[in-house]
Amino acid sequence: MSELKVYRTEDASLEPLAGKTIAILGYGIQGSAQAQNLRDSGLNVIVGGRPGKSSDAAKADGFYTHSFVDAAEKADIVCLMTPDPSHAEVYAQIRSALPGKTLVFAHGSSIHFGWIRPDAGIDVVLIAPSGSGRTVRESFLSQKGMVATFAVHQDASGRAKVTALALCKALGFLNAGVFESSFKDEAVCDLFGEQAVLCGGVPELVRYAYQTLVDKGYSKEMAYLGTLYELRSLADLYASAGLDGMLERVSEAARFGGLVAGPKTVGPETKVRMAAILDEIESGRFMQEFSQETKTGFACTRQMLEKEKTSDMSRTGERIRKRFTL
Ligand SMILES: NC(=O)c1ccc[n+]([C@@H]2O[C@H](COP(=O)([O-])OP(=O)(O)OC[C@H]3O[C@@H](n4cnc5c(N)ncnc54)[C@H](OP(=O)(O)O)[C@@H]3O)[C@@H](O)[C@H]2O)c1
Reported as a single tens digit per residue, the pLDDT across 164-195 is 999 999 999 999 999 999 999 999 999 999 99
Reported as a single tens digit per residue, the pLDDT across 288-316 is 999 899 999 999 999 999 999 999 999 99
Ligand 1 contacts CB of residue 132 (under 6 A) = yes
* Cα separation, 145 vs 269, whole angstroms: 38
> In terms of residues, how long is the chain?
326
* Helices vs strands, H then E, count in the chain: 16, 8
Inform me whether the pLDDT recorded for 1 exceeds 70.
no
* Cα separation, 210 vs 232, whole angstroms: 16
Ligand 1 contacts CB of residue 31 (under 6 A) = yes
* Cα separation, 162 vs 179, whole angstroms: 13
Is 112 annotated as catalytic?
Answer: no
* Cα separation, 76 vs 99, whole angstroms: 10
* Cα separation, 206 vs 313, whole angstroms: 10
What confidence category does residue 326 fall into, taking pLDDT thresholds of 50, 70 and 90? confident
Q: Distance, CA 30 to ligand 1 centroid (Å)?
A: 7
Domain boundaries, the chain: 9-182, 191-323
Q: Distance, CA 163 to ligand 1 centroid (Å)?
A: 23
Reported as a single tens digit per residue, the pLDDT across 62-100 is 999 999 999 999 999 999 999 999 999 999 999 999 999
Ligand 1 contacts CB of residue 137 (under 6 A) = no
Mean pLDDT of the chain: 97
3-state secondary structure of 284: coil
Catalytic residue among 66, 87, 107, 112: 107
Reported as a single tens digit per residue, the pLDDT across 124-147 is 999 999 999 999 999 999 999 999
* Cα separation, 217 vs 172, whole angstroms: 49
Q: Distance, CA 291 to ligand 1 centroid (Å)?
A: 14
Question: Can you give the pLDDT at residue 176?
Answer: 97
Classify domain 9-182 at the CATH topology level: Rossmann fold (3.40.50)
